[in-house]
Structure 1
Amino acid sequence: MRRIVPLLATVALSLFRPPSAWADDTKISVRVVVVTTFELGRDTGDIPGEFQNWVGKLPLSQEIAAPGTDHGVMRYNPSLQVLGLVTGEGPEHMASAMTGLVLDPRFDLRKAYFVLAGIGGIDPNFGPVGAAVWAPRVINGGLAHMVDAREIPKNWPDGLLPVQGASPDLHPVPALHSQWGDMGYTLNPGLVSWAYQLTRDVLLPDTKGLQASRARYRGYPQAQLPPKVMLGDTVSGETFWVGERMNRWAERWVKYWTEGKGVFATSAEEDIGFMQALSAQARAGRVDINRVLILRTASNYDMPHPGQSAAGLLQEESQESGFSGFMPSLDAAYRVGSVVVRELATRWDRYETNVPVSP
């Protein structure tokens, strides 16, 4: 026992050492972390989720045990020094997975880039299903006061309002980062612009299914365009909302919290947890928040086409594979995201100390 106690004390103390105190030669080198949110089955050889293209095509052939995660394993490419993981769906799973990763003593992630590449819904007023959208901003769609739809005052646009007040148009706009919670994040504008410029001409799949889906959105010219790479803000929340009225709320919510600067483009669950976790770890010096990117590819429209009800859209897309752009969006996430990941990883001499910016 006398030999064990000092050993335990040494281990315990080591857990509280700052990142700089760890010997770099004991770490697995990571240049880029690819973050996905779900996989439907195995990592290879069956119906894919967000992770499978990265595993098979980048590739990420080496398994690393991750017993404290939703997926159980991470994947690694030792030549590119790219690490990939599946966090689980929802902001809580995302925040837990990212915090666990950053605190894992096997990795030093102080210079690593993080690329969240996942699917999401898209506003037909913004763009088409199958599009790939880099996010300049993440707005929290889950933290709000809410009034039941049957009790909304007639002069309110909807029943959602800032938790800091009692009206939808509370002014001045509360600080995004307040004691009430983080309502929004702006990603490094230079890095986001660089990623967009690097990938803007990537050819995205345009299947017959996508063409048929977007043709139904008569009166929405942006929704009827072929898939392309775009820039637009994402609303993140745990509730899978759907419908024209909720879409109008999301458009208003982004405009409100960005004071007119932002444009609602995509809806997703995990992005707010992603940014909250990484921002906290950045304050501790364990990651660089200026090296974070979010790419959402549109698997479906977030509201029904003319003549369809919100309930009808839900019934149509009641299964993941029922999303009109499910498979093309998975393909687009890898096609676009991998261009950035490979550029960062293969030109590490350029990007290790200097974060890229658009010329």
Structure 2
Amino acid sequence: MSRFRLSAIIVPTLLAASAPGAPGAMAAETVKPKVMVITMFGSETKPWLENEKTATRIAVPGFPKEYPDVACSAEGLCVLTTAMGYANAASTLSALIYSPLFDLKQTYFIIAGIAGVDPSKGTLGSAHWARFAIDGSLRHEIDPRQVPAGWTDGVLALGAKAPGEKAQWGSGTEVYRLNEKLLQKAFALSRETELTDSEEAHAYRAHYAQEAAKAKPVVSICDTLSSDSYWHGSMIAESMANWATLMTQGEGSYCTTQMEDNATLTALRRGADAGLLDFDRIGLLRTASNFDREGGDQTPVESLTAKSGGFGPSTVNAYRVASTVAKAIIGDWNTWANGVPGN
């Protein structure tokens, strides 16, 4: 995993009209990123640092010790790493949003990370732009060994009396719907991106009968499910699919699963409510590093612990797809500065 090891230096940059500063000096003006890429751990960040000229490092108080700064290019691309899980994601984004070092009012945010994938909707290395982000954890659960007769599982919405009933109360962070206009634009810009694959991933797909699982990786639109728990297996996955449908009132159907996005989006929502950023300028991309359940000839444990060959392609493809959109935004900033363009 890559790790930023640079001192707290903000160097002169074309990102803002700041006066040259000596090492350790603060910038004369805040930085105004055109695109802020959000990754969750070092292997997701690595392709950005290797392929983009992000020479400027801005240390941000409140960032995790292992990822203490934002890396920015002179053109307006910035990349940060939250560290994994809800607590890290929300804390890091909050530190960014309320830092005086940045002006994010016109910034486009692209969450670009890896995920598990439903084999009926994607394959190893595939890339999926999300319309809905659904929290898979804010609910009641009864141990499967104590589930009443007739129930499909022990999962209930908050305040409900049986599976399938709508929630009676909640936190307000259970479901986020991303800007459809930006979603469609991002997909149109990136759908033909050349995706990498691996021989190991190609061989591993033989465990699965689903056509999507056996296919080569592609770019698509589908929803993502968040949970701090790294769950795995077909029975849990079926329950999670039902949950995603319930929480989106039948509009959503998850295909990727990850450990941060609803927390990240909550921090961004709070920032938007405070007038510090535009929630309509958020794109959410997840690429498949593994299947979220076992293949036909496996147990869940065998599947969970297997080396599927999807990790390498997923980290590379997250960069390839997301950077295509980021570069389109930065390269035509006069068009994008005032909002997502039409056609």
TM-score over 0.5 for the pair: yes
Q: CA RMSD of the aligned region, Å?
A: 1.5
Equivalent pair of 1:81/1:345 in contact (CA under 8 Å) = yes
Q: Deviations over 1:217-240 (max 9, x none)?
A: 02x111111100011000001000
Taking the aligned partners of 1:332 and 1:268, their CA distance within structure 2 comes to: 16
Q: Deviations over 1:14-42 (max 9, x none)?
A: xxxxxxxxxx9721121110100001xxx
Whether 1:278 and 2:263 are equivalent positions in the alignment is: no
Taking the aligned partners of 1:264 and 1:112, their CA distance within structure 2 comes to: 27
- Write the mapping of 1:118-133 to structure 2, written as runs, cut at 5 A: 118-133=113-128
Q: Deviations over 1:100-141 (max 9, x none)?
A: 101110110011000000000000111111100000010001
Whether 1:310 and 2:300 are equivalent positions in the alignment is: yes
| TM-score (ref. length: structure 2) | 0.89
Q: 1:348/1:214 Cα in 2 relative to 1: closer, same or farther (>3 Å)?
A: same
**Equivalence for 1:236:** 226
**Equivalence for 2:72:** 76
Alpha-carbon distance, 1:323 to partner: 4.8
Equivalent pair of 2:33/2:78 in contact (CA under 8 Å) = yes
Whether 1:64 and 2:64 are equivalent positions in the alignment is: no
**Equivalence for 2:85:** 90
Taking the aligned partners of 2:198 and 2:137, their CA distance within structure 1 comes to: 33
Taking the aligned partners of 2:161 and 2:229, their CA distance within structure 1 comes to: 22
Equivalent pair of 2:204/2:308 in contact (CA under 8 Å) = no
In structure 2, which of residues 318, 330, 333 is the aligned counterpart of residue 348 of structure 1? 333
Q: Which secondary structure state, in structure 1, belongs to the residue aligned with residue 44 of structure 2?
A: coil
Q: Deviations over 1:309-345 (max 9, x none)?
A: 11112232xxxxx453000001100110000011111
Equivalent pair of 2:125/2:288 in contact (CA under 8 Å) = yes
Alpha-carbon distance, 1:202 to partner: 0.9
Q: Which secondary structure state, in structure 1, belongs to the residue aligned with residue 250 of structure 2?
A: coil
**Equivalence for 2:15:** none
Taking the aligned partners of 1:225 and 1:93, their CA distance within structure 2 comes to: 34
Alpha-carbon distance, 1:256 to partner: 1.0
Give 5+ residue unaligned stretches, structure 2: 1-26
**Equivalence for 1:108:** 103
| TM-score (ref. length: structure 1) | 0.85
Alpha-carbon distance, 1:82 to partner: 1.3
**Equivalence for 1:142:** 137
In structure 2, which of residues 195, 201, 214 is the aligned counterpart of residue 210 of structure 1? 201
Paired positions, count: 315
In structure 2, which of residues 257, 263, 284 is the aligned counterpart of residue 267 of structure 1? 257
Alpha-carbon distance, 1:260 to partner: 1.6
Which residue identity is paired with 2:68?
G
Equivalent pair of 2:207/2:298 in contact (CA under 8 Å) = no
Alpha-carbon distance, 1:68 to partner: 2.2
In structure 2, which of residues 45, 61, 64 is the aligned counterpart of residue 51 of structure 1? 45
Whether 1:31 and 2:31 are equivalent positions in the alignment is: no
**Equivalence for 2:311:** 326
Whether 1:197 and 2:188 are equivalent positions in the alignment is: yes
Taking the aligned partners of 2:249 and 2:32, their CA distance within structure 1 comes to: 41
Taking the aligned partners of 1:323 and 1:340, their CA distance within structure 2 comes to: 28
Percent sequence identity over matched residues? Answer: 33
Q: 1:27/1:180 Cα in 2 relative to 1: closer, same or farther (>3 Å)?
A: closer
Equivalent pair of 1:163/1:180 in contact (CA under 8 Å) = no
